[in-house]
Structure 1
Amino acid sequence: MWRSSIGASGAVGGDGPVKALVSVKSIRDRCFIYWTNEARSAILAPMSTTPVMAPCTAAPGSASPPHPGIERGSAAYRRANLALFLAGCSTFSLLYCVQPLLPEFARDFGLSPASSSLALSLSTAALAVAIFAVGALSQQVARRRLMFASMVLAALCNLLAAAAPNWPLLLLARLAEGALLGGVPAVAMAYLAEEMDARHLSGAMGLYVAGTAFGGMMGRVGMGLLVESADWRTAMAAIGAVGLVAAFGFAALLPPSRRFVPQPGFVLQRHLRAWGAQLRHPGLLRLFAVGFVLTSVFVALFNYVGFRLAGAPYLLGPGRISLIFLAYVFGMFSSPLAGRLADRYGGRWPLAAGMALMALGALVTLGSSLMAIVAGISLVTFGFFVGHSVASAWVGRLAGADKGHASSLYLLFYYFGSSITGPLGGWAWQHGGWGGEVALTATLALLGIVLAIQVESRGQARGV
């Protein structure tokens, strides 16, 4: 270790005295600056056998963290994880609750499968654009307040969509809902990257992603079961009401930000500079592309498996079709597991393994038996949540000072994958059947493996 003092510019140098020393487990090929009780004093701790000073310089314009990160096992850790679990659950139950309803929309409104998918694709497109803007806004606005407002307003939009008398108005309500939900994912990722102790970031991110898995599952399965006993309008209204309750629970639980420093004023040039720097970072750019691939494969398969199961020879109703979304249980377990593995061994191989499982799962669904389809979808789900958990935490590590900007860029690519490949998957289904769907998604998953393998070598070249 070296004792160092931090100058106003954030550069490391000097030989200042140290009052407090933080000991941590060695983490391969990483290094951190540990802040001490003495003003402008720090310890530069290399996490490799060959210490290198250069990779650990502070990002320009970054300030020293005024508080230690939230550690695993503390009350704040439990409250933050539960609050963000609720946020992820609410956000993704609202966003994806229409997915099992696509065959219902096609029948009630006289639509093609590709057209019915607009109820989801427009929401995810609006979410992607909103996240991009919110990533900048979140640098000025309190994170908890922004997420709470987004959750409440999005739940109200779901209630409006449930009451919409025609297809265009339903799409308009879903478009607004997607835009409002943009205030949650990027800000939640930035909150975790700022507030959590670096040693426990991937684990905490994994728990948040598990919440998104639970929300996605409950939104889809709950919707399908409700449609069996009522109708899709009642089911959508019920999901909206649950979203409102989750928003108030989130606000009551989330600890206030202690390490977030609001930046006064909205200076477009500064935001453009931050986004430009991150788009020039090879490791981040590949992670953004991985996010695009993850949702492309996942949403394309889940959008149209319902149409396959509703037709011959299966002829399943909405309630039974929705049970396939119970595969999300695998995501709830795989996300925290992947986070812990990435904390210990690095993200490269867990990320590549997640993409490989998605490719394998897509191929398994080519089987004609219902068991083969369920097994394949389960593999895809497990691999998806492994990949998303690892990639989103990795973005936070590589981002430097502008974590909100990096999170917004990752999620911009992530949701554009859903918005672009969702309708494209409809075209593949209409013209190539399920074989065309699998050819599209398996090819994308193989591309994701290549990207995952490249990320770490590029990141190490930049000292990550």
Structure 2
Amino acid sequence: MPPASSGASATHAAALTPSSPLPGPAEAAEAADTRLNPGGSGYRRMSFALFLAGVATFALLYSTQALLPLVSAGFGVSASTASWTVSAATGALALFVLPLSALSERFGRRTLMTVSLTVAVVVGLLVPFAPSIGVLIALRAVQGAALAGLPASAMAFLAEEVRPKALVAAIGMFVAGNSIGGMSGRIITGWVAQAWGWRVAVGVVGVVAVLCALAFRALLPAPRHFTAGSLNPKALGRTIRSHLSNPLLCRLYAIGALFMTVFGAVYTVIGYRLTEAPFSLPQGIIGSIFLVYLVGTVSSAAAGKLVTRLGRRGALYLAVSTTAGGLLLSLSDSLVMVLLGLVLITAGFFAGHAVASSSVSRTATAGRAQASALYQSAYYLGSSAGGTLGAVAFHAGGWAGTVGLGLLAVLGVASITVWGSHAARVQEREQRRRGLVAAH
């Protein structure tokens, strides 16, 4: 018998042995699933492309945050006024993320992400030439509005193109890109600003974002599971009302907003605190403080494992405890304790954000782009509120005032999570009761 035939017969015989049973329905369905799965080249390209998009998004969005003391000095304005260079960008993103997500339903996730990132990097190259604080705030608002096309579209893209079991990990990689972008942008601006001023610093961030945008467009695979929808305002309104009437989604939106209130407040004000006594640190060192974002990269990427071990609510309780502990540690006048506090705050925030955002994508079975957009709106409104209120609290009560604001927000997250646990138990009891009634 020829070798080829012998091999075929052996293979066929092996397939029928008890040790190699025929695949069941679940295995067959998984094998037929053409969505991206970890280990494939398409998944790796997609993950790296969205990682770079996350880097560019956060680097641009928070490019002035570490420079606020220099912006205040350069334009002769207060901390609360300078904080609007951050709050205007995050606030505009929050307002535009929902309408732009609707455009992504019609024109495609990849197309909208590409256009949004292109506009944002172009504006980023104009920001260094702002002649006044008013123009700077206006440019930052336009930049935030442009960036609104990225977060919700990215989440929807992942929900459509990635297998469900890999979704939390994939979203964790995008969030990890956010943390790397936020960290690298602040470190670059800190050291560059110390040597050449804040204008050159934000210009360098703009150039880095251009490179990320080019690589993103070259690497992101073409969507295979996107189905274009229509721009129907009534249908959009029904979808939004449906999401807002879902108690679980509303709790997740509130959790994202409150976590980001803490994060926005802490990182908007920390530069002012560290320039004052007893620290009196130079701008370059203050920028390097943002290396703690690496902790966020790890904690967001590990969110999937946390959910597997502790469940969604257990992971949120851990994130809340970690963030609260970090806030309390940061009250110390020891630089080491302050840094440890920032590490815990960052780890808790990114873990909580990754868990909440991935839960939104899994909960919404229809209108995923709008569900993610509502989450992003709440999330960035929290950032805008945190930045402004954090600066006001710092002006009124120093760092303790900012920490107090953060603890209130963390308490809100804990309360919502406890209420969610209670609501889930009530629902389970009701379902069991109905099952018993139906059985009789």
TM-score, with normalisation over the residues of structure 1? 0.84
Counterpart in the other structure of 1:319 = 284
Q: Is the 8 A contact 1:127 1:182 kept in 2?
A: yes
Tell me, in whole angstroms, the C-alpha distance in 2 between the residues paired with 1:262 and 1:457.
Answer: 39
Deviation per CA, 1:112-166: give whole Å up to 9, x if none: 1111100000000000111111121111012111111111110111111111111
Question: Structure 2 residue aligned with 1:300, among 245, 254, 265?
Answer: 265
Q: Is the 8 A contact 2:263 2:386 kept in 1?
A: no
Q: How does 1:235-274 map to 2 (within 5 A)?
A: 235-263=201-229, 265-274=230-239
Question: Structure 2 residue aligned with 1:215, among 171, 178, 181?
Answer: 181
Change (3 A) 1:274 1:343: farther
Q: Does 1:91 align with 2:57?
A: yes
Counterpart in the other structure of 2:401 = 436
Q: How does 1:66-85 map to 2 (within 5 A)?
A: 68-85=34-51
Segments of 4+ moved more than 2 angstroms: 19-24, 34-37, 343-346, 452-463
Structure with bigger helix share is: 2
Give the C-alpha shift of residue 366 in structure 1. Answer: 0.6
Deviation per CA, 1:405-453: give whole Å up to 9, x if none: 0000001000001112221111111111111111110121121122234
Paired letter, 2:25? L
Q: How does 1:56-455 map to 2 (within 5 A)?
A: 68-263=34-229, 265-343=230-308, 345-455=310-420
Q: Is the 8 A contact 1:187 1:404 kept in 2?
A: yes
Paired letter, 1:241? V
Q: Is the 8 A contact 1:162 1:237 kept in 2?
A: yes
Q: Does 1:23 align with 2:27?
A: yes
Tell me, in whole angstroms, the C-alpha distance in 2 between the residues paired with 1:456 and 1:255.
Answer: 39
Deviation per CA, 1:294-317: give whole Å up to 9, x if none: 110001011111111101121111
Paired letter, 2:273? R
Tell me, in whole angstroms, the C-alpha distance in 2 between the residues paired with 1:317 and 1:372.
Answer: 19
Counterpart in the other structure of 2:6 = none
Give the C-alpha shift of residue 36 in structure 1. Answer: 9.0
Secondary structure of 1:71's aligned partner: coil
Paired letter, 2:217? A
Paired letter, 2:170? A
Paired letter, 2:99? A
Q: Is the 8 A contact 2:189 2:202 kept in 1?
A: yes
Tell me, in whole angstroms, the C-alpha distance in 2 between the residues paired with 1:153 and 1:280.
Answer: 34
Tell me, in whole angstroms, the C-alpha distance in 2 between the residues paired with 1:439 and 1:21.
Answer: 54
Secondary structure of 1:138's aligned partner: helix
Paired letter, 1:231? G
Tell me, in whole angstroms, the C-alpha distance in 1 between the residues paired with 2:421 and 2:369.
Answer: 22
Tell me, in whole angstroms, the C-alpha distance in 1 between the residues paired with 2:277 and 2:253.
Answer: 39
Gap runs ≥5 in structure 2: 1-22, 432-440
Give the C-alpha shift of residue 347 in structure 1. Answer: 1.3
The count of corresponding residues between Structure 1 and Structure 2 is 407
Paired letter, 2:180? F
Tell me, in whole angstroms, the C-alpha distance in 2 between the residues paired with 1:401 and 1:429.
Answer: 42
Counterpart in the other structure of 2:19 = none
Paired letter, 1:240? G
Deviation per CA, 1:375-410: give whole Å up to 9, x if none: 101100000110011111000010111100000000
Tell me, in whole angstroms, the C-alpha distance in 2 between the residues paired with 1:124 and 1:420.
Answer: 9
Give the C-alpha shift of residue 35 in structure 1. Answer: 8.1
Deviation per CA, 1:237-295: give whole Å up to 9, x if none: 111111111111111111111111101x3110101101101111010000000011011
Paired letter, 1:257? P
Deviation per CA, 1:344-365: give whole Å up to 9, x if none: 5531111221122111111110
Paired letter, 2:26? V
Secondary structure of 1:449's aligned partner: helix
Secondary structure of 2:27's aligned partner: coil
Counterpart in the other structure of 1:10 = none
Tell me, in whole angstroms, the C-alpha distance in 2 between the residues paired with 1:391 and 1:144.
Answer: 23
Give the C-alpha shift of residue 20 in structure 1. Answer: 7.4
Larger radius of gyration: 2
Q: Is the 8 A contact 2:103 2:112 kept in 1?
A: no
Secondary structure of 1:346's aligned partner: helix
Tell me, in whole angstroms, the C-alpha distance in 2 between the residues paired with 1:203 and 1:340.
Answer: 8
Gap runs ≥5 in structure 1: 1-18, 25-33, 38-66
